[in-house]
Amino acid sequence: MDCYQKAAQLLASRPHFRAELAVKLAQRGFPPEDAAAALDRLEAQGYLDDTKTAADFVAHRRERGGEGRLRLRAELVRRGARPEAIDAALAGLTEEDDLEAARAAYAVAARSKKDPAAIARHLARKGFSRRAILAVLHQGPEGSADLALGEGEDDADAGDIADTDFDEGFEPE
């Protein structure tokens, strides 16, 4: 089986990002130039499309629920999606979408966890912004949908969620 055939076979099993396929082909002993040519050919034929794969990945994970934009971005990066494909896939997600998903994840987590700090840590691992976490902790899963998350601010403005010590001084209202 040549490099192109192997790449096509791998794509037939599930969608892959170009970087993922390049790694798999290298692991199977194909020379990098053969892999690049095969991947270029698959892209030209429309079988390999990082933008579509990233969009499908995000849509599937959002359907499944329970993950925020930060987690989705990290997972796409880990899988080797191109930065422009990641940005395009996440462009349609708003802060309100993230807040809604955080509320749903909060409702599930609150069934087994009663400590607000434990729930906050769980939501942080799920990739929700600090702003969304604090909103659901203060308002609960049925909180107001018109909660102002900060005009013009995004997750980058919220800072690294790991910087927040959810154990310190949080008391629900």
161 Cβ partners below 8 Å, 6+ apart? 70, 124, 128, 129, 130, 133
Cβ atoms within 10 Å, residue 55: 17
**What's the full length of the chain, in residues?**
173
Q: What is the pLDDT of residue 141?
A: 63
State residue 160's pLDDT score: 43
Question: What is the pTM (predicted TM-score) of this model?
Answer: 0.75
Q: Would you give per-residue pLDDT tens digits along the chain (173 residues)?
A: 999 999 999 999 999 999 999 999 999 999 999 999 999 999 999 999 999 999 999 999 988 877 999 999 999 999 999 999 999 999 988 888 889 899 989 988 888 888 899 999 999 999 999 999 999 998 866 665 444 444 444 444 334 444 455 444 444 43
